[in-house]
Structure 1
Amino acid sequence: MVRKEVSDHVRSWRFILLLALVVLTFFASLYISMSNIRATFTNTNDPDHAFFYLKLLTATDGSMPPFHILMSFLAPLLGITMGFDAINSEQNSGSLTRLLAQPIYRDNILLAKFYSAMLIIATLFISLTLLMIGGGLFLTGVRIEPQEFLRILAFALLTMVYVGFYLSLSIMLSVAFRHAATSALTALGIWLFFTVFYPIVVNLAIRAFLPDAAYLTQSETMAYNELILSIMRIAPGQLYSDAATTMLMPSIRSLGPMSMEQLSGAIPLPLPLRESLLIVWPQLSGLLAGSIACFALSYYLFMRREIRS
């Protein structure tokens, strides 16, 4: 079943087009980063200027966003594209009834749909990671440090988890709705809401209910900022952006507001990988929890679904 699903994904035109878009975005970001990498190395005010391979994913000249920012928009589309018709297309064509007539459990069907898509996604991002490292070695001859390699690998794994969340969401919608167009539009609507409209709603709510910041003390301002960040982190894109930025920029020490007392005496040096992982662990846990919740709900709906009708 997994081999069949992988073959169907690889041969579909929508996956090929989206794959081409991701690869072109990667090479465009890499070209811009390589063009501006000399200016990045001469900027000694940047504490991350010595991390050459991390700068390939974060450096930009302003003509286009960095690669990790672009992936916060493209990764959900990849997950939605590979899962919005996972179940309903099989049922509408009648192949799901013939498939379940065989000695196959229903949960194996869902697992095959999810596992095959994640296998392709993992192959894609690991290949892009190795291609970026190999291209940097070939063009510059700069040796990659072990910490850089581990951070890039952690970024690739984080992107896989982010794609997996929207893949689980789209599979759940394909079980909940009978028509593939309805599930696709619902998944795209959820993605657009959390990407575009949710920050607007949060800002309007802040202006309407929270007091003016000019009349607050420093501790109250930090508490309100922490509350705003907690509300914003309900959006999966915010969780991914925080975690990706922390993994690719070792100088980031905190994702929340810090007082002057906490900043006093701090040495502006990059954090070790272990400390960065501890910072992004809540964001990674949130994305994993959302993926598991969507997959569990799709399992519940699919087990109670009448297939023969």
Structure 2
Amino acid sequence: MSPGSIDRASFLAPKREGLPDRPTLTSRATLNWIAVGAASDANLNDPAAIARVWVFPPEGDGLSNAMLVMLRVMAEGGSAWPLQEEVPNFTLPSPARFAAIRARAQGLIDSTGMDAATLVERLEGELFVFGLRRMLLAGAELSLIQAALQQRLRVLAEPAIGEDPRALTSTGMAIEVPHAVFATAHLRIDPDADAIYGLGAGGYLRPRFLTSEVGAIWPPMEGVEPVSVDTTPLRSGLPGRPTSRHLIETEFLRRAQAGEVNRNSVMDEARILSTWLHERHPHHPPASAGTVANNLRNRYRALFSPTKSSSHP
């Protein structure tokens, strides 16, 4: 499967539907519902979904990828791997490894008929969505724990024992998990392990959440578009012209994760990012506040609902 033919529906924009007609939901379905409004039992943010198309999975901060590094090198007409400080999540590859990555990148260019700059745009977009989804799912987990701790939500699960929280052994039938459990330090509701665990041994397996209670606390996201990216190649100026878009998007995601984004309007946030780019990366192509706002508008709206409308288009 190539970037030109991938069906992104399940990864980038899951279909929003009502809650399923069954009494309980799995932890993954519940987290997906809270995060993106799709009560799916599938892993909607699996790094393997990126790796299947782009050869390599996300690295480190989730915004890095070996294929992305190589495509940027090729888009800029380079022939060497960037310096370590420019790609801190990667060690300098051996000549053989460099040649192998470059060959795979060239294979993508040949199979899709797209140039390196276009593929950079697409991969940057998918990595941005991956990082955004990861942030939303982490927030959903915290919301779920808080609701259970506040006794607004009942959780049914099987008590379990074991030293490894990801390899617990059930000790009996499902019970209602005591609310006090959700005050445990470093508690996780882990959909991969289908378990609840924290510091210390033991935990709970196969947690289930009452559909009616989940729907009452987190109603359907009416009028909110699924998190997505524009897969139409974006061009500005001459073909292959270098941009600073990836720097802006990475900083925007960092600010969103840290709770630093200006929520008054996308234009206010764009001014901050435009100034940041000028001060922190003076040797990269500049980006006006208007350009930044246009590039981030859909992603900003996916994250925030400003309390007042902006006077800027």
If the length of structure 2 is used for normalisation, what is the TM-score?
0.30
TM norm structure 1: 0.31
Q: Which structure is higher in strand share?
A: 2
Q: Identify, as 1 or 2, the structure richer in helix.
A: 1
